[in-house]
C-alpha cells in the first residue's frame, strides 16, 4: 500500500487571529471552519490546510468526546510549500510586496525550478515553488 495524496497538512501557530487574517487576506485561502482558541481550516486546491493553536491540540480529548482526535503539536517553526508555476511565482512576489510581506529567500534550484520563501505571523516558513523541483 502507498498513499495516493496528502489530504491535509498542519501548521501550528501562536496567534489564531493573526493567522486567519494572513491566510485569508494575504494568501486568499477560503476558511472552511474554525473553533475559537483551537483551530482554523482552509481549503487549498484539492486539500485542506489545518492551522492549530499548538497548546490547545496538546490536550487529549475528553473520554466522552464525539471526535477522539489524539493530541498532537510541534514546537518551533514549521514549513509548508504551495505549488506555483513560474508565472504564478512572479505574480506571488508582486502580490506579497504589495501586501508588505518580506521575501525571505528566492532562488533557482540546481535541478530546475524556482522558489520564494516568506514567514507567516507565527514564524512558519511558507514557500511557493514550481512542482518540477520534485519532478512533478
At the topology level, CATH places domain 1-61 in 2,3-Dihydroxybiphenyl 1,2-Dioxygenase; domain 1 (3.10.180)
Q: Which CATH superfamily does the domain covering 77-135 fall into?
A: 2,3-Dihydroxybiphenyl 1,2-Dioxygenase, domain 1 (3.10.180.10)
pLDDT score recorded for residue 18: 97
Scan for cell 476558511, then name that residue.
Answer: 31
Global confidence as pTM: 0.93
Domain chopping of the chain, boundaries: 1-61, 77-135
Distance CA 39, CA 50 (A): 7
Q: Count how many residues are written for the chain.
A: 136
Burial classification of residue 9, based on how many CB atoms lie within 10 Å of its CB (0-12 exposed, 13-18 middle, 19 or more buried): middle
Distance CA 133, CA 61 (A): 39
Distance CA 136, CA 131 (A): 5
70-119: pLDDT as tens digits: 988 888 899 999 999 999 999 999 999 999 999 999 999 999 999 999 99
Pick from 122, 125, 120: nearest CA to 29: 120
Q: What are phi and psi of 26, to 5 degrees?
A: -90, -50
Domain 1-61 and domain 77-135, same fold? Reply is yes
| 2 Rama class: left (phi>0) / alpha (psi -120 to 50) / beta | beta
Amino acid at each position: 500500500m502507498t498513499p495516493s495524496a496528502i489530504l491535509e497538512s498542519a501548521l501550528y501557530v501562536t496567534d489564531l487571529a493573526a493567522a486567519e487574517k494572513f491566510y485569508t487576506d494575504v494568501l486568499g485561502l477560503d476558511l472552511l471552519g474554525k473553533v475559537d482558541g483551537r483551530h482554523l481550516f482552509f481549503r487549498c486546491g484539492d486539500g485542506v490546510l489545518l492551522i492549530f493553536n499548538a497548546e490547545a491540540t496538546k490536550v487529549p480529548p475528553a473520554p466522552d468526546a464525539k471526535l477522539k482526535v489524539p493530541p498532537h503539536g510541534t514546537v518551533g517553526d514549521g514549513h509548508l510549500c504551495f505549488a506555483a508555476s513560474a508565472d504564478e511565482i512572479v505574480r506571488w512576489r508582486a502580490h506579497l510586496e504589495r501586501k508588505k510581506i518580506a521575501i525571505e529567500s528566492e532562488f533557482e534550484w540546481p535541478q530546475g525550478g524556482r522558489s520564494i520563501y516568506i514567514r507567516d505571523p507565527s514564524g512558519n516558513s511558507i514557500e511557493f515553488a514550481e512542482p518540477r523541483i520534485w519532478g512533478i
